[in-house]
Chains A and B, each alone.
Chain A
Amino acid sequence: MEFAQNETLEIKKTLENIYKFLWRHKEYVNRLNVFPVPDGDTGLNMTLTIQGALANLPDYSDNSISPGEYLKVFAENMLLNSRGCSGVILSLFWQGIAQVLVDSDFSAGNVLKALEKGYLNAYEGTENPQEGTILTLMFELKEKYGQVMLDEENPVVILINCIPHLREVLKKTPDMLPVLKKAGVVDAGGAGLLILLEGMEKEFSSKQTPDALPISSVLNINKTLRKLLKSRSASLRYSPPGTLVQNLGVDNISNIKLRNIIQNVQFYVNNILHNSKRLLSRDAIIKDLDDMESSWNPDIKQRYCTEFVLKSNKISSQDEMKQLIGGYGDSMIVLNSDDIYKVHIHTNKPDSIFSDVSKYGELVFTKVDDMKKQHRNFISHDTIEYEREQSVFCIVSGDGFKKILENLGADDILNYGKKKPSVNQLVKAMNQLKAKNIIAATDDKDILMALKYAASLSKSNVFIVESKSVISLISMLMAVSNDLDIKNMSFMNRLNDIRYCGISRAIRETTAEDGTIVKKKDFFLMHNGKIILSGKDIKQVVVKSIEKLVEKESLVTLYKGIPAKRHNILPELKKTFQDLEFEEYYGGQYQLYYYLTFE
């Protein structure tokens, strides 16, 4: 295998093209995902694993490292960025390959050794390896490669020549793993691996990959067929589903199980209608339909797909890590490189795992996916095709605050203006984000309840930040640092970093904390949910508020609301408090005249 003069750039370009190819076909892979849990994210996880590795690859355009070393760096980045079972197994496979190719020996024989090592690495790293999965395809790849190598020297050509065989193997995966057969699909991880090889092939020629029916359609057809079979003979003949089944060509239906069932239903219906004979058992077909339906709706015993990266010199081996947390769940995969441990596990207690392992080192990265939620999205008729890993979603009132939060790193903002959003609006807004994980925060504690309910209806994993004001959101986002990396969520502890108060106007007579009466249309200071002072003149109320609340702070910021749009009290404040620094921004909030913050 030969690379051009600027070798690392060439390799990176090839890897990027293969990644793009997988990205275009990720939904196809997602739709095959029934094992180990039908959460519909195999394609996305494999894609994100490669995407993360590419994004974190250092720039070696000066050829300061060899192609083999470059592939090793890529492998290390894949491990650190791996997502989900399939992503982790793929990175293990690649780690093994890269270990052999590190000396840049790309001869056919050495590539075979690399494939063998890759398979072994992936197999041994998987807690409970199963036949009929991506591991089977990895095994078959190295076997077939060895055979083709006898007649061919170019490793790329050999790999391409292995593809037809792997397609056949993929077709047989339902015979190896019963859950695939019941669901009528081939293995998703295996399909993903094949797509990666096809992506490589596409670098040299042009090929098409298959398309798959959405699972919601498969399940709806399943339901319609069941209903049809249970109906009277007249329905079989005259109802739209009855006539459709009689005339349907099934060759293009990619779901093997569904195709077989439809053929059986056609056979059954035609015999009833034309021969009045029951050559096939209706109950047997219905049982097939039930089996298929249940394979897409299993009892998910371990709800959370949990991943973390731990930097630890107190844990000495993968086995020790497995012993430490093995009791918490299943589908565990542990990888390690030096003192870095990357772990994937399905569990009901992610927090307990994080708490346990953090005693042994520093948790560099954590991720928890709610698989029940992902499964619901996956099988629903309005399934969302996730387009990104996560979004920081803020729900606020005010144009000014929208801009401020955007600048501070919020990905998406719903500016609800005067009218607080309904649960429906929140669900719709969150679904439109097309993010697998959403960190949602609002500026109003009254919206928090609606947001919690909306989160349960949303298709994404939603983590709610228990914020109570827009200042908490500013505080939280200000604390996000280090390349705006929000993965470890520690910034959520920073909600109360900024002290603040609000200045508003009474719409009816009320009583302050100390018992004094606040008359209608008086301005008042609200601090920690209590009315502290009031007055007729807004300037005086602001001045008194600052006198009362400033402690050691040196900066007072005014966030102006719509009611105070025409006010200009800043010059007077600067004159009154010459030791303090003042800044003013337009927040655009509807109710409060001002938010004052003290920093």
Chain B
Amino acid sequence: MNKRILVIASDNIGLGFNQVEFPDIEYLQFPIIIDEQEFRESETYTANWLIEKYTKENIVARTTSIVKGELIEIVEKNKDKYDLIVHVVMGSNMSAATYTIAEDVRKMYEEIIPIINIDTRQVVGGVGVILLRIIDIIKETKDADEIISLSKEIINTTFSFFVIPDLKYLYKGGRIGKAKALMGSVLRIIPLVGLLGDDDEGLILPIGRGRTFKQVNSLLISTINNKLKDYSIDKAKLINIISMNDNPEAFSDLKEKLEVSVPCEKMIIGEPHLVGSVYLGPKSYSLSINLK
């Protein structure tokens, strides 16, 4: 019997939904809060809408966890159609509440349908990269244990890097981690921070800084190449780069440098989502890479 598997993901994956070529997938929406008002991504409320709001108004936005009822609704709707659910969850290191909700729902349905919660230890594009790689696995195997074991390796070898000209959005959201060391400079600096799959603590780390986007891009490229070297890998599996569409020159420079200097099986230019833009702010962009 061919086992039927449903994948659940969220709208914080740094990918357009049409970029995920898998029919059996459901998406949850992360709410964001601005001045006590809740927003969900829609045609009106997009990443670009928030970035523009950030530029023009002095607002503070924050994200909240997924809504438990919405997850239950998805599971309830699909529990009889599938034999297994794989939920690709934003990193518990970044949102413990979301992962707890996912675990609660898994336990609720323990007797009804098995649910595997994949703690990606990533956000935004990193979750997207892991989602695509897990879909690759599901296409090869339907065995739950094998999916779990192969996912672990993918998570450990997935790295996200963020070029964030203004760290205040990350700081206000309480996600600054060790990257705080890059804040408060008299000189205008452009920080490069990272969320590294092989970092046990799973905190946002300072990777480096530059005075121009080109400098930061070069630093990013050399950081990736060092990772490839560390893992003795000739060619990365998958790269996903995402920009907020307000810094085209810097983003093109990164893309060109990647094409020339980083061997990779597949490179995707992802799409920003509302929730993903909350902590990044204007002129930021990110790169997520899976090595193997």
CA distance A408 to B182 in the complex (A): 8
Q: 3 nearest interchain CB pairs?
A: A481-B208, A407-B185, A407-B186
Residue of B nearest to A401 (CB): B186
| Interface SS of chain A | mixed
| B212, A483: Cβ atoms closer than 8 Å | no
User: For residue A585, which residues in chain B have a CB less than 8 angstroms away from its CB?
Assistant: 186-187
* C-alpha spacing A409/B186, complex, angstroms: 11
A557 touching B211, Cβ below 8 Å: yes
Q: How far is the CA of A568 from the CA of B8 in the complex (A)?
A: 58
If A554-B212, A599-B211 touch, whether A483 touches B186 (CB-CB below 8 Å) is: no
The contact of A484 among B181, B189, B200, B212, by CB within 8 Å, is: B181
CB neighbours (8 Å) of B219 from chain A are 481
CB pair A483–B211 under 8 Å, yes or no, is no
User: Is A555's CB under 8 angstroms from B185's CB?
Assistant: no
- A492 shortest CB reach to chain B, Å: 16
Q: Which residues of B contact A581 (CB under 8 A)?
A: 212
B206 & A407 in contact (Cβ 8 Å cutoff): no
Cβ-neighbour of A403 out of B186, B201, B207, B208 (below 8 A): B186
Check A599–B215 contact: CB distance below 8 A: yes
Is the Cβ of B205 less than 8 Å from the Cβ of A483?
yes
Do A481 and B212 touch (CB < 8 A)?
no
Interface contact A478-B184, CB-CB below 8 Å: no
Q: Which B residues touch A554, using CB under 8 A?
A: 212, 214
Given contacts A58-B201, A478-B209, A557-B211, contact A483 B184 (CB under 8 A): no
Contact B181 A404, beta carbon cutoff 8 Å: no
Decide if B107 is an interface residue (CB 8 Å cutoff).
Answer: no
Q: Which residues of B contact A537 (CB under 8 A)?
A: none
Partner of A407, one of B184, B207, B215: B184
Listed A/B pairs (20) with beta-carbon separation below 8 Å: A58-B200, A362-B230, A403-B186, A404-B187, A407-B184, A407-B185, A409-B181, A474-B187, A478-B189, A478-B209, A481-B208, A482-B206, A482-B207, A483-B178, A483-B205, A484-B206, A557-B211, A583-B188, A599-B211, A599-B215
- Indicate whether B210 reaches chain A with its CB closer than 8 angstroms: yes
| Closest Cβ–Cβ distance, residue A310 to chain B (whole Å) | 14
Indicate if A514 sits at the interface (CB-CB under 8 A). Answer: no
Least CB distance, A335 to chain B, in whole angstroms: 20
B199 closest partner in A (C-beta): A58
Expressed in whole angstroms, the Cα–Cα distance for A362 and B227 within the complex equals 12
| Cβ-neighbour of B205 out of A407, A408, A482, A555 (below 8 A) | A482
Interface of B is mostly: mixed
- Interchain CB contact (< 8 A) of B187 among A58, A407, A479, A483: A407
Which of A579-599 touch B at CB < 8 Å?
581, 583, 585, 599
Contact A478 B210 (CB under 8 A): yes
What per-residue 1/0 map shows which CB atoms of A552-564 lie under 8 Å from chain B?
0011010000000
From B181, B200, B201, name the one whose CB has the most chain A CB atoms within 10 angstroms: B181
Closest chain B CB from A81 CB (angstroms):
15
Min distance, Cβ B249 to any Cβ of chain A, angstroms: 9
> In this complex, what residue of A is CB-closest to B181?
A484
Partner of B212, one of A59, A408, A482, A599: A599
B207 near A481: Cβ-Cβ < 8 Å: yes
The CA of A557 and the CA of B185, in the complex, are separated in Å by 15
Q: Which residue of B lies closest to A59 (CB)?
A: B201
Give the docked Cα–Cα distance between A288 and B184 (Å): 60
Chain B contact residue count (CB 8 A cutoff): 23
Given contacts A58-B201, A407-B186, contact A478 B211 (CB under 8 A): yes
Q: Mark A33-61, 1 if CB is under 8 A from B, else 0.
A: 00000000000000000000000001100
Residues of A within 8 A of B187 (CB): 404, 407-408, 474, 557, 583, 585
Chain B residues in 8 Å Cβ range of A404: 185-187
Nearest residue in B to A362 (C-beta to C-beta)?
A: B230
Residue of A58, A479, A481, A555 touching B206 (CB-CB under 8 A): A481
B211 touches A555 (CB 8 A): yes
When distances are taken between beta carbons in the complex, the residues of chain A under 8 Å from B200 are 58
A400 vs B189: C-alpha distance in the bound complex, in angstroms?
16
Given A481-B207, A482-B206, do A408 and B185 touch, yes or no (CB 8 Å)? Answer: yes
With a cutoff of 8 Å between Cβ atoms, the chain B residues found around residue A478 in the complex are 189, 209-211
Return chain A residues, CB-CB under 8 Å to B209.
478, 481
Q: Which residues of A contact B214 (CB under 8 A)?
A: 554
Chain B residues with CB below 8 A from A400, complex form: 186
Most buried by A among B189, B200, B205, B211: B211
Chain A 54-72 interface mask (CB, 8 Å, partner B; 1/0) = 0000110000000000000
Closest to A583 in B: B188
For residue B190, give the distance in angstroms from its CB to the closest CB of chain A: 10
A554–B210 Cα distance when bound, in Å, is 13
Interchain CB contact under 8 A, B201 and A482: no
Chain B residue at minimum C-beta to C-beta distance from A56: B201
Once bound together, how far apart are the Cα atoms of A400 and B186, in whole Å? 9
B201 proximity list for chain A (CB < 8 A): 58-59
| Closest chain B residue to A553, Cβ basis | B212
For residues 368 through 420 of chain A, which have their beta carbon under 8 Å from a beta carbon of chain B? 400, 403-404, 407-409
- Give the CA-CA distance A256 to B176 in the complex, in Å: 55
Residues of A within 8 A of B207 (CB): 481-482
Which of the residues B178, B212, B230 comes within 8 Å of A555, measured between beta carbons? Answer: B212
Instruction: Quote the shortest CB–CB distance from B282 to chain A (angstroms).
Output: 16
Known: A409-B181, A481-B192, A481-B208. 9 other contacts (CB 8 A): A362-B230, A474-B187, A478-B189, A478-B209, A482-B206, A482-B207, A554-B214, A585-B187, A599-B212
Query: A322 vs B66: C-alpha distance in the bound complex, in angstroms?
Result: 55
Most buried by A among B181, B185, B186, B205: B186
User: Closest residue of chain B to A559, judged by CB?
Assistant: B187
What mask results when residues 229 to 263 of chain B are scored 1 for a CB within 8 Å of chain A, else 0?
A: 01000000000000000000000000000000000
Please give me the residue from chain A that is nearest to B185 by CB atom.
A407
CB distance from B123 to the nearest CB of A (A): 19
Check if A482 sits within 8 Å of B185, measured CB to CB.
no
A362 to B226, CA, bound (A): 11
Complex Cα spacing A403 to B184, Å: 11
A142 vs chain B, min Cβ distance (A): 32
Q: Convert B151-180 into 0s and 1s, putting 1 for each residue whose CB lies closer than 8 angstroms to a CB of A.
A: 000000000000000000000000000100
- Closest Cβ–Cβ distance, residue B97 to chain A (whole Å): 13
| Shortest Cβ distance from B201 into A: residue | A58
Report A-chain residues with C-beta under 8 Å of the C-beta of B188.
583
Instruction: Write the nearest CB–CB distance from B242 to chain A, whole angstroms.
Output: 23
Complex formed: what's the CA distance from A585 to B186 in Å? 8
**Which residue of chain B is the closest to A400 with respect to CB atoms?**
B186
Chain B CB within 10 Å, residue with most, of A400, A479, A482, A557: A482
A482→B227 CA distance, assembly (Å): 14
Contact partners of A484 in chain B: CB under 8 A: 181, 206
**In B105-161, which residues have CB < 8 Å from any A CB?**
none
